[in-house]
């Protein structure tokens, strides 16, 4: 069965809106943290439901997925650890610092695309990258000073891991989405618990805490995490890692707005708003001015 190829515009807009949803990911994380759930447990709890869904999906179609297990494992580990590190970063450092450090991704993604995937970076893409990074720099310069911590490291490494994972998805487009998502969701849960253990302030949950967290974690998993994660994995079969990284900057704007409104210590100044405008401009350059890439999905 041959899948119809979506246009590059449709895939690009899917990434743009799918990533924007992640701009409010910090809200349930901080909510669970305020409930007394320590360490990176909030990240693990918010990603447990997808494990059962995607693993069950793969097991019910085992013959179709079995041959892709090796490639799916590598992709799932890379993208799953990226999500785990990003979530842990949102807990251990400020929302904006974790988000901005993650969005160094376009640099790594573009370099990977050039040297590994043999892509040609147009001047429009370089312009978009420069504009996006300039916007990130302006945002950072306008924020409060903070000592570097382990959350900053997690935020930085999340972008590196995501860039490699996105490149693997592009390089191995025949791997079924459910197989990748199954390994990714497992990696998020296990990775988050390991990251929390490394940070050193993670304790075991009580039965009361688990019971109280179920409604929030289940609702967020079904309504936010699973749909947006599937969209991002799907779209990367059709777009270059550099373009995906730039389009996902929509998350920065949403995170900046929500954090500035709900977190007084992270309210943005005029300079920071200017940086956010540069980031949006970089996304528009990437969408409107770079050559349109047509999708070439595999036959199943």
pLDDT digits (tens, 9 = 90+) for 24-80: 999 999 999 998 898 999 999 999 988 998 899 999 988 888 899 999 999 999 999
- pTM, 2 dp: 0.82
Residue 139 in domain: no
pLDDT of residue 156: 87
Using the predicted structure, report yes or no on whether residue 147 has a pLDDT greater than 80: no
Residue 27 in domain: yes
Q: How confident is the model at residue 1 (pLDDT cuts 50, 70, 90)?
A: very low
- Predicted confidence (pLDDT) per residue in 256-283, tens digit: 888 888 888 777 678 877 877 887 787 7
Residue 107 in domain: yes
More confident residue, 55 or 114: 55
- Among 23, 9, 6, smallest CA distance to 279 is for 23
Give the DSSP letter of residue 225: I
Residue 2 in domain: no
Mean pLDDT taken over the chain: 82
pLDDT of residue 82: 95
d(CA 62, CA 206): 36
Strand-pairing partners, residue 299, are: 2
Residue 76 in domain: yes
Residue 173 in domain: yes
Q: What percent of the chain has pLDDT over 70?
A: 87
For residue 275, count CB atoms less than 10 angstroms from its CB and return exposed for 0-12, middle for 13-18, buried for 19 or more.
buried
d(CA 106, CA 109): 5
d(CA 184, CA 248): 18
Q: How confident is the model at residue 300 (pLDDT cuts 50, 70, 90)?
A: very low
- Among 266, 188, 193, smallest CA distance to 221 is for 188
Residue 161 in domain: yes
Using the predicted structure, report yes or no on whether residue 290 has a pLDDT greater than 70: no
Q: Rounded to 5 degrees, what angle do the CA atoms 188, 232, 69 make? A: 55
| Least confident piece of the model among 71-80, 94-103, 245-254 | 245-254
* Structure tokens given for 143: 């924020």
User: Residue 174: which domain range?
Assistant: 13-127+145-244
Tally of domains in the chain: 1
d(CA 19, CA 79): 14
Q: How confident is the model at residue 7 (pLDDT cuts 50, 70, 90)?
A: low
Using the predicted structure, report yes or no on whether residue 126 has a pLDDT greater than 50: yes
Residue 6 in domain: no
- Predicted confidence (pLDDT) per residue in 161-178, tens digit: 988 998 888 788 889 888
User: Is 254:23 a contact under the CB 8 Å cutoff?
Assistant: yes
- Predicted confidence (pLDDT) per residue in 191-231, tens digit: 999 999 999 878 888 888 888 888 889 888 888 888 887 88
pLDDT of residue 295: 43
């Amino acid at each position: 069965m041959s899948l119809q190829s979506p246009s590059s515009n449709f895939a690009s807009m899917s990434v743009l809106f799918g990533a924007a949803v992640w701009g409010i990911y910090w809200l349930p994380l901080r909510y669970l943290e305020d409930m007394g759930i320590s360490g990176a447990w909030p990240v693990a709890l918010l990603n447990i439901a997808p494990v059962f869904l995607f693993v069950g999906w793969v097991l019910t179609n085992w013959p179709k997925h079995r041959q892709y297990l090796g490639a799916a494992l590598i992709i799932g580990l890379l993208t799953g650890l990226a999500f785990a590190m990003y979530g842990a970063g949102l807990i251990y450092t400020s929302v904006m610092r974790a988000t901005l450090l993650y969005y160094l991704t376009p640099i790594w993604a573009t370099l990977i695309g050039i040297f590994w995937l043999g892509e040609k970076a147009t001047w429009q893409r370089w312009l978009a990258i420069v504009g996006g990074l300039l916007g990130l720099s302006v945002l950072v310069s306008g924020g409060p000073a903070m000592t570097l911590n382990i959350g900053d490291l997690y935020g930085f490494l999340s972008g590196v891991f995501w860039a490699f994972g996105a490149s693997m998805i592009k390089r191995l487009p025949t791997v079924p989405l459910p197989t990748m998502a199954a390994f990714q969701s497992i990696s998020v849960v296990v990775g988050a618990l390991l990251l929390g253990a490394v940070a050193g302030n993670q304790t075991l949950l009580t039965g009361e805490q688990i019971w109280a967290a179920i409604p929030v974690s289940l609702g967020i998993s079904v309504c936010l995490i699973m749909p947006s994660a599937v969209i991002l994995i799907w779209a990367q079969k059709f777009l270059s890692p550099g373009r995906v990284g730039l389009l996902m900057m929509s998350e920065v704007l949403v995170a900046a707005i929500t954090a500035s409104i709900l977190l007084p210590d992270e309210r943005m100044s005029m300079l920071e708003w200017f940086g956010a405008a540069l980031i949006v401009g970089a996304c528009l350059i990437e969408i409107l001015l770079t050559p349109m890439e047509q999708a070439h999905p595999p036959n199943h």
